[in-house]
Structure 1
Amino acid sequence: MRYQYDIIGERYAESRSMAAFSAADTHTLLGALDELGGVRGLDTLDLACGHGDNTRLLAGGGARRTVGVDSSPELIRLAREHGTGPERADIEYLVADAAGLPDLGPFDLATAVYLFNQAPDRGSLHAMFRSVRANLRPGAKLLAIVPNAGAFPHVDWSPYGVRILDRLREGDAPLLKAHFVTEPPAPPVHFEYREWAHADLAEAAVEAGFTTVGWQPTRTPPADPVRDEAYWTAYRAWPVSSLMTCTA
């Protein structure tokens, strides 16, 4: 599904950055990194890095080495553009398919925000997990933000920045068609992803050699005048994503 991100590029980055679900994802990831003791001195890998927000977060946390990988040349171009200057000399960006990563490691930590939902079929999903595992040291962690399955058509995520338009039953996992919802309203940014069940992801991780697989619910940022506690309480009832934690 690389082509869609090559086309929408900057608008994808802007739409994601404004979305409430993305703020919750970042808060969730930061909490998980804190529980691991931070990233200072670690070799870190950021998969599906997009325009590099989480890559820069890892580098800014004191990682010894940080590599951002995305299959979209346009998003990698944007990541490099947003992270220019000597203060970002500690980041490497690479265009590569996560299902066939070159030997980049070994790493102590990998993050993957909305990577595995881009796998078009079961073979690609398993290849992604094997490729990630091959680049990790024994005992290293994989922190992955993954979409929750089963919401559409029962739940409307529009107040949180994304609207699911259709769910097509085809292939190894349903194909969801969606677009970002922005405020103020703007022409919609459309995208697609596969609705893999958590069980499918766990099976692929175990087959790839990860020794443990765990799940954590999303965490939400503190309430503010724009997004109050009632807003976040409603979101936590059926959030867009969960955190998958795997140990190599």
Structure 2
Amino acid sequence: MRFQYDTIGERFVESMSTAAFSAADTHTLLGALEALGGVRGLDTLDLACGHGHNTRLLARGGARRAVGVDISEKMIRLARAEAGGEHHGRIQYVVADAAELPRMAPFDLATAVYLFNYAPDRTALHAMFRSVRANLRDGGRLLAIVPNPGAFPHVDWSPYGVRIVDRVPEGDVPLLKAQFLTEPSVDFEFREWAHADFAEAAVEAGFSTIGWQPSRTPPADEARDEAYWTAYRACPVSSLMTCTA
């Protein structure tokens, strides 16, 4: 599970650019950043950055510094290639395990889009939150997009670009086997942590406040009308977790 994105690579980039769940996640994150007053002049950390989409969003928003971190060397190579010379000097990409993250600098804001669900066990989950807290200034914020548990087999997410195909009871929480619905589809897996597990780990790490917000959806258009997004909001893939250091 740790290095599955070394194999997924470009297919994940395709999913990010075409899947409805990814569009909803980006809209949710941008809304949360706007509600905080934006990122202009802030030092920002983007964990599980993948090919750097959200890292570049932070830089475009005026962040003084945008550091993207991912465990996958291949994803970091893609991120560096995607960035090119854009925002030269303000974007940095680092290969690192979020559960063993060094103290790189005090940051004002951290984002984590589908990071914590890859923690293989409770020890790693708590280590991830402690690493994030250690890299935030007092009063700094964490914005994390996390999957909603309990959907499979009762809810079908395939219209939105991802499908859960099996739940395997093992370890601290079930292992979910899933697919990104690209052409062809790409297999991946993650852990079905409850939101309460994330909150517990955040409190133990020293975050002072924990909050939750529902997924927001983009405006309807010809490809995805209001009925489509209404159906998505009834069984969204993710929620937004907000934490204050």
* Length-normalised TM-score, structure 2: 0.99
CA distance in 2, matches of 1:223, 1:95: 37
Shift of 1:13: 1.3
Shift of 1:126: 0.1
Percentage identity across paired residues of the two chains: 78
Q: Which runs of 5+ in 2 are unaligned?
A: none
1:120-152 Cα offsets, whole Å, 9 max, x none, are 000000000000000000000000000000000
Contact 2:110/2:141 (CA < 8 Å) preserved in 1?
yes
3-state SS of paired residue (1:163): strand
Q: Which residue of 2 aligns with 1:188?
A: 185
Is 2:219 the counterpart of 1:213? no
1:174-225 Cα offsets, whole Å, 9 max, x none, are 100010123xxx1111100001000000000000000000000000000001
CA distance in 1, matches of 2:133, 2:6: 27
Q: Which residue of 1 aligns with 2:6?
A: 6
CA distance in 1, matches of 2:160, 2:89: 35
1:225 to 215, 222, 227: 222
- Opposite residue 105 of structure 1, the aligned amino acid is A
Contact 1:16/1:180 (CA < 8 Å) preserved in 2?
no
Show the 5 A alignment for 1:144-223. Answer: 144-182=144-182, 186-223=183-220
1:80-134 Cα offsets, whole Å, 9 max, x none, are 0000115333101000000011111200000000000010000000000000000
Contact 2:103/2:135 (CA < 8 Å) preserved in 1?
yes
CA distance in 1, matches of 2:71, 2:34: 28
- Opposite residue 25 of structure 1, the aligned amino acid is D
Contact 1:44/1:58 (CA < 8 Å) preserved in 2?
yes
- Opposite residue 124 of structure 1, the aligned amino acid is A
Q: Which residue of 2 aligns with 1:69?
A: 69
CA distance in 1, matches of 2:86, 2:14: 24
Shift of 1:238: 1.0
Q: Which residue of 2 aligns with 1:35?
A: 35
Q: Which residue of 1 aligns with 2:242?
A: 245
Q: Which residue of 2 aligns with 1:89?
A: 89
Q: Which residue of 2 aligns with 1:19?
A: 19
3-state SS of paired residue (2:176): strand
The alignment covers a number of residue pairs equal to 245
Over the aligned positions, Cα root-mean-square deviation in angstroms equals 0.8
Q: Which runs of 5+ in 1 are unaligned?
A: none
Contact 2:178/2:188 (CA < 8 Å) preserved in 1?
yes
3-state SS of paired residue (1:88): coil
Contact 1:76/1:94 (CA < 8 Å) preserved in 2?
yes
> CA 1:191 to 1:100, structure 2 compared with 1: closer, same or farther past 3 Å?
same
CA distance in 2, matches of 1:180, 1:17: 12
- Opposite residue 69 of structure 1, the aligned amino acid is V
Contact 1:145/1:244 (CA < 8 Å) preserved in 2?
yes
CA distance in 2, matches of 1:187, 1:10: 12
CA distance in 2, matches of 1:17, 1:104: 30
CA distance in 1, matches of 2:236, 2:65: 32
CA distance in 2, matches of 1:154, 1:65: 42
Q: Which residue of 1 aligns with 2:123?
A: 123
- Opposite residue 150 of structure 1, the aligned amino acid is G
